[in-house]
Every structure is written in structure tokens, then in C-alpha cells.
Structure 1
Amino acid sequence: MYLTRFRVNTARAGARYLLSSPQRLHAALLAGFPGLPVDPEARPRILWRLDHGDRTDVQVYLVGPDRPDLTALVEQAGWPTLATPEAPGWETRHYQPFLRRLAKGDRWSFRLAANPVHSIRRKDGEPTKRTAHVSPRHQLGWLLKQQEKHGFELLPGAAPDAEDPLHRYAVVVHGRRDLSFRKRPGDPAPPPAGRKGSGSRGGPVTLVTTVFSGRLEITDPAALRHALTQGIGRGKAYGCGLLTLAPQE
């Protein structure tokens, strides 16, 4: 496995074109992995996430089974005049050595872009329907339900006894985005949560995403390794599901 960071040059028209659609950016990132199967169901998992530091500081984080070649992406949306053989416009590192070092009880800062959803039934007897969580409190509730399955526990915040979970845990819920686009032929099936229309090929798709930033403790290293390489939740083709760790500040 490899972890890659790519800095986007937001002043370029090509970058703005890709950033305007998660489908376009997903396709551009997949193009950096030669030899991938055409069938989406046969492809290995490729995870990615857009991090917005400010208006001009936008970076893509990418996790995949092979080392990518993002030369074409640099030409379209990066900094080609600054590229050198030693620094081609992106940074890629082997991920496995880091993954092997993870141990129970370790504490890390984390970031996760996700599509928090839940199942509801409007009337008795109707089938359940997946619906997006839209408030920070409910989105955090979704994340709390992911902890045991994915091998981590959110650390307490500044007010661990607070009634409001938004103050109880060391996590910030931010960066909500309401995405809307049309599914194109060959795209993976969109997640049903928040979807409008019939969902047929070419139909409109809406997707609510949010970002979680905070601190966690590892409870199950194997489960967390799986989450780091296979993602959490739905909408992975659209920039959701990638969890990354960093040393605590």
C-alpha cells in the first residue's frame, strides 16, 4: 500500500474543472494507476480525500495498492514548472511500515471525510431508506457508532462530562458539503443516501459529506489498519471514507 499527497494549483483552469466534480477528480486519480481493471467491481480499493486548508491550499490524499504516476494530473492541475525527477509534483510513501507500527493504546490525531447516513422508515410497513445525516450532532453520533467496528475510540474533550457530545469528545465536525452531479456511464453506483431521482444511469445524484478532525486511541490495530486501507462508510468513489493519522500536537 502507498500513501500519496498531491498539492492542487487552484489558480489553474484544469484544477478548477476537476475540483468542481468528484467524478472528474476520481477519474483523474484512477488514471494514475495504469493497468487497473475497466470493471469497477474488479478494481482494488482506491481511497482519496480533498483537504482544504484555505482558498488556495488544497491537497489530495490518496491511498492505493500501487505507487501512482500522477504526471498527467500535475500537467492539468498541479505545478509542472516546479516538478523535478526528485520531486515530480507529488509525494508518495510506502504505507505498510507505518501500518505495522500501530499498536493498541497508541493515540493519534486523525482526519476523516465521510458520508454519514442512517436508515429510516417513514411509515409502518415501508422498506427502510438510507438518508444522510445533516446536523453536526447527528453526524458525530454516526462516527461514534463506527468506533468499535473500526478499532478506535474518540478521546475525551475539554468537557468530558458535558451532556452535548460535541463538547464531550476531542473532535470537530466541519466542512460540510452538499454535492450534486449527474452519474455518468461507467461510474460506480452512487450511494443511495441523499439521492434524488430514479438513480438510473445518468440520473442526478446528491451527496452530503462532512469532515471529522480530532484525537483517537487505538483499540484494535487490525481493525484500524483495515479502515485505513479500505475506508469507512459510503461514497468512497466521491472522496469519502479516507481516514488518516498524524502525531498528536
Structure 2
Amino acid sequence: MHLTRFRLNTARGGARKLLSSPRSMHAAVMSSFADALPSHTDGPRVLWRVDRNARAEVFLYVVSPTAPDLTHLVEQAGWPTSGTWQTYDYTPFLTRLAKGGTWAFRLTANPVHSIRRKDGEPTKTTAHVTPRHQMGWLLKRQETAGFRVLEKPPEERRLAEGGEYELIVHNRQNHAFTKGPADRRGAPVSLVTATFDGRLEVTDPDALRRVLTTGLGRAKAYGCGLMTLAPVG
């Protein structure tokens, strides 16, 4: 597995176009892999996420089985004469994950649940829209995902956002776009996303490795599901 980081030049129109449309960004990411042909539906699992740290500091992260070639992104949305990207071998890091280890994490996800408005009607997938319910969505999945979100010291719980957990939700967005090529009008897509920052403890390394390489939740093609870890502090 490989982890790649690419900085987008937000002053360029090409970057702004990609950042405005998860569908366009997905197409650009998948174009980075020679073996991911448009006619292939069983291509490699590729996860991606956009981190907007500041107006001029926007990064694209990609986790993939093979290393990407982002030359076209440098030309379209980067710095063609000096820009580049960094790709790292992800496997050694994944192998070192151990039970009891603590890490800072970031995840952009599509928090949804299934509801039934009336008895006898089929369930409908509906987005969580409040920070409290979005946090609850993640906390319900932590056990099977191989981690435990750390709790705050008692003296910090009353005043801090997120209640008792070392967890915040930010960059909550509503996306609306059409599915399919830009030259053909496809089905409408409505997508709610939220970014989670927090601290976790590894409870099941194998399960967490699966999450880090296959994603968590839905809408993975549109920039959701990629969790990354960083040393605490």
C-alpha cells in the first residue's frame, strides 16, 4: 500500500474546479493509475481525502495499492515548474500498529443512518446533520473498526466541544452534483460530509489496518472514508 500527499495551488482555476466537485476530483484521482481503466469496475481500491487546513494550504491525500502518477494534477492544479507530490510506502507503518498504541486521527466521512417514516415502508438512507449525531455515528463504529476514541480528563469535559471524548467535528459540508461524465447529465447526488479530528487507542490492529486501507462508511468514491493517523502531540 502507498500513501500520497499532494498540495493544490488554490490560486489556479483548475484547482478550484476540482475542489468544487467531488465527482471531478474522483475522476482526476483515478486518472493517476494506469491500470484503472474507465471500463474496469474491479480496479484497485483507492481512497482519497481533501484537507483544507487554510485557504492557501489545501492537500490531497491518496491511499492506494499502487503508487499514483500525479503529473496531470501538477499541470492542472499545482505548480508545474516546481511542484511535486510525495508517495510513501504505507506497509511498514501499517505493520507497526499495535494494540494499546495511541494516535491522533483525521477522518472525512459521510455519516448516514437508515430510517423508516411509516410502518411497512422501506428504509431510507438519511444523512446525520448535527455534530452530536455525526459524532454518535463514528462512536458506534469504533469497536468494529479496531479503535477506541479517547476520553477527556474529567475537568475538561464540561467546557470543551464534543463532551467527554477527544473528538471534534468540523468542515461540515453539503454537496450536490450529478453522477457520470461531465458531458452527460447523470443522476443527481446529494452528499453530506463531516471531518473528524480526535485521538484514539488501538484495540484491534488488524481491524484498524482494514479501515485505513479500505475506508470507513459510504461515499468512498467522493472523498469519504479515508482515515489517517499521526503521532499524538
TM superposition score category, shorter chain reference: over 0.9
Structure 1 letter corresponding to 2:59: Q
Number of the residue aligned with 1:136:
131
C-alpha distance in 1, partners of 2:132/2:99? Answer: 28
What are the superposed Cα offsets for residues 193-237 of structure 1, whole Å, 9 maximum, x if unpaired? xxxxxxxx7121110000000100000000000000000000100
- Which runs of 4 or more aligned residues in structure 1 lie more than 2 Å from their structure 2 counterparts after TM superposition? 37-41, 158-162
Mapping 1:203-222, distance limit 5 Å: 203-222=187-206
Number of the residue aligned with 1:104:
99
2:226 is aligned with 1:245 = no
2:213 is aligned with 1:229 = yes
C-alpha distance in 1, partners of 2:162/2:39? Answer: 41
Structure 2 gap ranges (5+): none
Corresponding residue SS for 2:54 = coil
C-alpha distance in 1, partners of 2:161/2:136? Answer: 8
Mapping 1:139-218, distance limit 5 Å: 139-159=134-154, 166-185=162-181, 202-218=186-202
C-alpha distance in 2, partners of 1:167/1:225? Answer: 28
Structure 2 letter corresponding to 1:232: L
Number of the residue aligned with 1:46:
46
CA RMSD of aligned residues (A): 1.9
Mapping 1:21-32, distance limit 5 Å: 21-32=21-32
Number of the residue aligned with 2:110:
115
Corresponding residue SS for 1:175 = strand
C-alpha distance in 2, partners of 1:230/1:21? Answer: 22
CA pair 125-243 structure 1, distance change in 2 beyond 3 A: same
2:68 is aligned with 1:68 = yes
Number of the residue aligned with 1:193:
none
Structure 1 letter corresponding to 2:72: A
Over the matched positions of the two proteins, sequence identity in percent amounts to: 59
User: Would you say how many aligned residue pairs link Structure 1 and Structure 2?
Assistant: 230
C-alpha distance in 2, partners of 1:9/1:161? Answer: 39
Structure 1 letter corresponding to 2:166: A
Greater CA deviation, 112-121 or 177-186? 177-186
Corresponding residue SS for 2:208 = helix
What are the superposed Cα offsets for residues 25-71 of structure 1, whole Å, 9 maximum, x if unpaired? 11111111111243453112100000001111100000000011101
Corresponding residue SS for 1:240 = coil
Query: Could you tell me whether the CA contact under 8 Å between 1:157 and 1:171 is conserved in 2?
Result: no
